[in-house]
Structure 1
Amino acid sequence: MASNRTQHHSLLPLICAALLPLLIPLRTFKAAAHYYASPLSSSSSSFLSEWQSARATYYAATDPRDTVGGACGYGDLDKAGYGKATVGLSSVLFEKGQICGACFELRCVDDLRYCIPGTSIIVTATNFCAPNYGFTADGGGRCNPPNKHFVLPIEAFEKIALWKAGNMAVQYRRIKCRRAGGIRFAIDGSGVFVSVLISNVAGSGDVVDVKIKGSQTGWLPMGRNWGQNWILNADFKGQPLSFELTSSDGMTITSYNVAPKNWNFGQSFEGKQFQ
């Protein structure tokens, strides 16, 4: 009997070693604490439920684009709460700014030299990678149609690949966003011109319709100016402001009296949040 017990105990290290790879989950690097890697249901036709092929490059830490805000209008991305968990998209993916605020999961593939196995990153669309028609799409025009291309801060890029990878093959999928706090409304303009920058949107992350209401008006539709900047010609001074947002997955949320009646241009306020 002692001999049998000894044989059984000697097998345990081999069994544990065989099972260990099955117990190690995919490591998802969260460049900001309020992002997570849970994709939306495949029943939602507005989102990608399967991994798609693309390519990705990076820009250096000294590049000023994180402080000037980019094509979505978020301003300083660190101050806006997005940090380095951001990405610029080629025109095929950018959708003329509609996609601003959406979240993507990316992973490096097909390169045993430079990919970091078992890793992925979660990033928010905050910028546009303009095409360069002086080059062909399969030459230097990385962001030319029909290329699906992502441009990452080097801090995010190096979570999934070594910097030497350069222009690397990746897979991506659209996922649901999680944000800390409520949706942010930055109000700007002058006189009867009102501009509202909408950021920190959870759920689908991107907004397709905005309505604004003062205490002396009904619900008025705003027009998209660029990115997630929405505008309207109306006089709301001295009125508390309410907002109704519709996201690209068809969800609608209403935040009443987000801005008090004594609001001023240049101020920011926080409303309800999508689940």
Structure 2
Amino acid sequence: WQTGRGTWYGPPLGTGTNTGACGYGELEGTPYDSNIVAIGSESFNDGLGCGACFEVRCVNDTNCREEPTTVVVVTDECPECPADQLDFSGTAFESLAIEGQGDALRAKGIISIEYRRKSCDFAANITFEVVPGSNEFWIAFLVKYVPGYGALQSVEVQSSGSNTWENAAHLWGAVWQIDGPLTTPTSVRVTTVGGEVATCVLTGITSWSPGET
């Protein structure tokens, strides 16, 4: 466990921001359920920290429950936060509290916490979403719901019928880019910062048009 401090931002029972700097989109429903955090710029690393999961508990706080711990996902950047600070959504911050004491905990603003990396276990498959601005020759896509270590260190793409894996470039947040055209069905191989590798055949993406998943 590492010691640090916890803060919160956004609406008291909200998701911090609507989408966060990772670009994941809706954060209120499954699998995030608003249990998200923003981290400092060094750890966020231009978005390469997106998707990491942390297990968190309070330290010596009468408004906090001891067990179970809370699991949160990195979906946003907190530029002013030091490396040991997690900035929670209002909902995630309340999840640390004893039932009925969420408002009292939020009123403190800053609390002492302990946190550690935890394997992500999303109630969803790895998802690839073609983002606006993409075309046949310049394709950008969002990667989310990566299990295990969560945060990615590389993404590779292979057109149907090819034996070559091409490295995608990291653009921002959880968005990666590859030059086209690509032959479908396309395969994508993701490698997490922890060295875990997953290969997906994207049968749902037939033309790499914006909005396809």
Shorter-chain TM-score: what band?
Answer: 0.7 to 0.9
1:172 aligns with 2:115: yes
> Is the Cα contact below 8 Å between 2:48 and 2:151 reproduced in 1?
yes
- TM-superposed CA distance for 1:97, in Å, is 1.9
Greater CA radius of gyration, 1 or 2? 1
Pairwise CA RMSD? 2.2
Q: SS of the counterpart of 1:190?
A: coil
> Is the Cα contact below 8 Å between 2:6 and 2:85 reproduced in 1?
yes
- TM-superposed CA distance for 1:245, in Å, is 1.0
C-alpha offsets along residues 49-107 of structure 1, whole Å, 9 cap, x if unaligned?
xx10111111242767432x111111222367312111001224323322210110111
Supply the distance in 1 between the matched residues of 2:209 and 2:42 (Cα, whole angstroms): 38
Unaligned stretches of 5+ in structure 1?
1-50, 132-142, 269-275
Change (3 A) 1:65 1:110: closer
Q: Which residue of structure 2 aligns with residue 123 of structure 1?
A: 72
Supply the distance in 1 between the matched residues of 2:24 and 2:113 (Cα, whole angstroms): 26
Change (3 A) 1:78 1:130: same
Unaligned stretches of 5+ in structure 2?
98-104
1:154 aligns with 2:84: no
Change (3 A) 1:264 1:160: same
Task: Specify which of 31, 54, 57 is matched with residue 7 of structure 2.
Answer: 57
Q: Using CA pairs below 8 Å that are at least 6 residues apart, which structure has the higher relative contact order?
A: 2
Change (3 A) 1:58 1:198: same
AA paired with 2:91? Answer: E
Count of equivalent residues:
202
Q: SS of the counterpart of 1:204?
A: coil
Q: Which residue of structure 2 aligns with residue 252 of structure 1?
A: 197
Supply the distance in 2 between the matched residues of 1:149 and 1:253 (Cα, whole angstroms): 30
Q: Which residue of structure 1 aligns with residue 135 of structure 2?
A: 190
1:202 aligns with 2:202: no
Supply the distance in 2 between the matched residues of 1:54 and 1:118 (Cα, whole angstroms): 18
Change (3 A) 1:184 1:120: same
Change (3 A) 1:79 1:223: farther
- In the TM superposition, 1:72-111 aligns within 5 A as 72-78=22-28, 81-111=31-61
Supply the distance in 2 between the matched residues of 1:99 and 1:129 (Cα, whole angstroms): 12
Supply the distance in 1 between the matched residues of 2:178 and 2:198 (Cα, whole angstroms): 20
Q: SS of the counterpart of 1:99?
A: coil
> Is the Cα contact below 8 Å between 1:241 and 1:259 reproduced in 2?
no
> Is the Cα contact below 8 Å between 1:105 and 1:122 reproduced in 2?
yes
> Is the Cα contact below 8 Å between 1:56 and 1:170 reproduced in 2?
yes
Q: SS of the counterpart of 2:120?
A: coil
